[in-house]
Structure 1
């Protein structure tokens, strides 16, 4: 096995495939990257039983073959390679990487112990790559981190007709984003749901953001334990689905009788970030909205250790409303919005609050909404 490839293309291929490497694994061969060279093509793959990443690139191949090498070691080598052509060869059990007069040698891992890579499921539809990355990024902040509740650590994709709904929740928040997508001709239009690990999906979506479009593949008849494939340009990734599904959000997002506040999103985020420096761990940030003053007072802390800032805000449906949130949760929500003005539907302390971009209606196909639970105990 011997091939030559440009440094940039080689580093990109290794970097993409390395995304599927486990941080720790009791199976040593899963720490390896599979390199395959044949007929002017180099393919790099990584796999950890939950995610597979694969990418192909043009290369000058003077000898075909396959080799399994330590992935993170090869990734470190790619970062320090000098510019120019990279020449790689397999000599017995030693894999060499040479560029610009610098040569590295790597021992190889046993190929016969490496598990077969999963086959990607059949294409089901196409979505705009940048819009998909934005949507996953906006809702993934609401996914739980508690591995004892695996379903809550996922992001759910719901595909129905020409609309995709991306959603995530933990026990205190629920984020939803809708965006258009184009199903394949063979898709029947029935609603299909797939729950995927949030961190893995976020990594895949961001990596494919510049590909123009992402082709999604899945088997609608596999409700759990199946695979979802993502393909953009030369890059492909397969992610194993989580068992279960997220509860519906329809009734949760209906806040009958709520007061409505509108405030500049960026200014509110900066105020929350500023005043929360005096807040103790898990203590809330309080928001006092006043229709009379046309303002919101952002306050945190107890006793003499307090901080406060007042911002312009419009309030309708009540003279005054006070709510309080965990600072980290509130900042996650505020930072997920791209519009300049935030709309907040408020029921009061200890109750639900629904955040959305001002001017976005409930039927807006690109609507992003984030539900937060206000804490009962105010500052």
Structure 2
């Protein structure tokens, strides 16, 4: 095997394909390897039995062949190379890499021990890459991070016709957003539970192209696989990952049909106020929020410790109420909203708040919604 490739293109592709490689592969060291196949250009593959990545890129291939190399080591080396063409060749059991006056010799790994990569499922449709990445970034805000509750570490993707809905929850908060796409069949209807971390990383990494192809295998969960593919400068990138098994909570019913109190407030002003007041909030304690008299009053701290209070102007409709929230979770939700003004909607103080952006005059759908459970207030 022997090829020459542009350093920037190669470095970017290697970093992308190696991003999910395990740092400690345990009893299967080959899983830390990156497979390079030189033929009609280059194909870079990685796989850990759960998630696979494949990047294709242009290269001047002199001799065809396949080699398996330590992926993270190769990524570190290529990233540090000077901005010159990179020559790579296989010499016995070692990979020789030359760039300008820099030379590296890397031990190869046994190709025959590497697992077979899963096939990309049949394409289900396409979506604008920027829209998808933005919707995913909003949805993962509420995804769980506790591996003891694996179902809650995923984002539920629900597809009905030309609409994709994304839902996530960690039991304390819930996110919901929708976007349109172009399905292969107009009556498409399926659901999938995708690991949030993989989904977020994949959606963000495929924004250089105009659209992303989504491919979902039959079954939807358990042994199901979802794939994402997009064009990038210099080639194509593809990721597949196994779907999470288990029943996602029926969370849609948590959004109330009506509200007794609403507050419309500047997002920027509320964010800055929450940040300041939260400086004196004790660990795992709430920031108290009182809605009424033309504004929101925020309080934190206790009489024995530091205290803070601040008010923000707001348009309040409905009954006055006092509640409290985890300030970090509150800021996460506010940060995911695009609009300059946000709407906080309540049924009562002890029930969750629904936070959304104030829709334009000609819109009824607020788009992204973030439901947050209140925290018990300290007397």
Please state which band the TM-score falls in when normalised by the shorter chain: over 0.9
**1:71-101 residue CA offsets vs partner (Å, 9 max, x unmatched):** 1100110111001100000000110111111
Question: Given that residues 9 and 57 in structure 1 are in contact (C-alpha distance below 8 angstroms), is that contact kept between their aligned partners in structure 2?
Answer: yes
Cα distance, 1:49 vs structure 2: 1.2
Question: Given that residues 218 and 224 in structure 2 are in contact (C-alpha distance below 8 angstroms), is that contact kept between their aligned partners in structure 1?
Answer: no
Cα distance, 1:376 vs structure 2: 2.9
Alignment of 1:1-379 (within 5 A): 1-26=1-26, 27-39=28-40, 41-184=41-184, 187=185, 189-233=187-231, 234-290=236-292, 292=293, 294-303=294-303, 304-318=305-319, 320-359=320-359, 367-378=367-378
TM-score of the two chains, using structure 1 as the length reference: 0.94
Uncovered stretches (5+) of structure 2, i.e. residues with no partner: none
Question: Given that residues 50 and 241 in structure 2 are in contact (C-alpha distance below 8 angstroms), is that contact kept between their aligned partners in structure 1?
Answer: yes
Compared CA separation, residues 378 and 333, structure 1 to 2 (3 A):
farther
TM-score of the two chains, using structure 2 as the length reference: 0.94
Range with greater deviation from structure 2 (228-237 or 299-308): 299-308
Range with greater deviation from structure 2 (55-64 or 350-359): 350-359
User: In structure 2, how many angstroms separate the alpha carbons of the residues matched to 1:108 and 1:97?
Assistant: 12
Question: Given that residues 322 and 348 in structure 1 are in contact (C-alpha distance below 8 angstroms), is that contact kept between their aligned partners in structure 2?
Answer: no
Cα distance, 1:178 vs structure 2: 0.4
Compared CA separation, residues 365 and 7, structure 1 to 2 (3 A):
farther
Uncovered stretches (5+) of structure 1, i.e. residues with no partner: none
**1:31-65 residue CA offsets vs partner (Å, 9 max, x unmatched):** 110011013x0111111111111111110111000
User: In structure 1, how many angstroms separate the alpha carbons of the residues matched to 2:20 and 2:353?
Assistant: 37
Question: Given that residues 324 and 378 in structure 1 are in contact (C-alpha distance below 8 angstroms), is that contact kept between their aligned partners in structure 2?
Answer: no
Range with greater deviation from structure 2 (308-317 or 19-28): 19-28
Aligned length: 372
User: In structure 2, how many angstroms separate the alpha carbons of the residues matched to 1:377 and 1:348?
Assistant: 15
Cα distance, 1:139 vs structure 2: 1.3
**1:261-293 residue CA offsets vs partner (Å, 9 max, x unmatched):** 111112211211121111111111111111x3x
Cα distance, 1:242 vs structure 2: 0.3
SS of equivalent residue, structure 2 residue 177: strand
Compared CA separation, residues 46 and 277, structure 1 to 2 (3 A):
same
RMSD: 1.6
User: In structure 2, how many angstroms separate the alpha carbons of the residues matched to 1:101 and 1:76?
Assistant: 17
**1:137-173 residue CA offsets vs partner (Å, 9 max, x unmatched):** 1110201111111100101111110000011001111
User: In structure 2, how many angstroms separate the alpha carbons of the residues matched to 1:257 and 1:43?
Assistant: 54
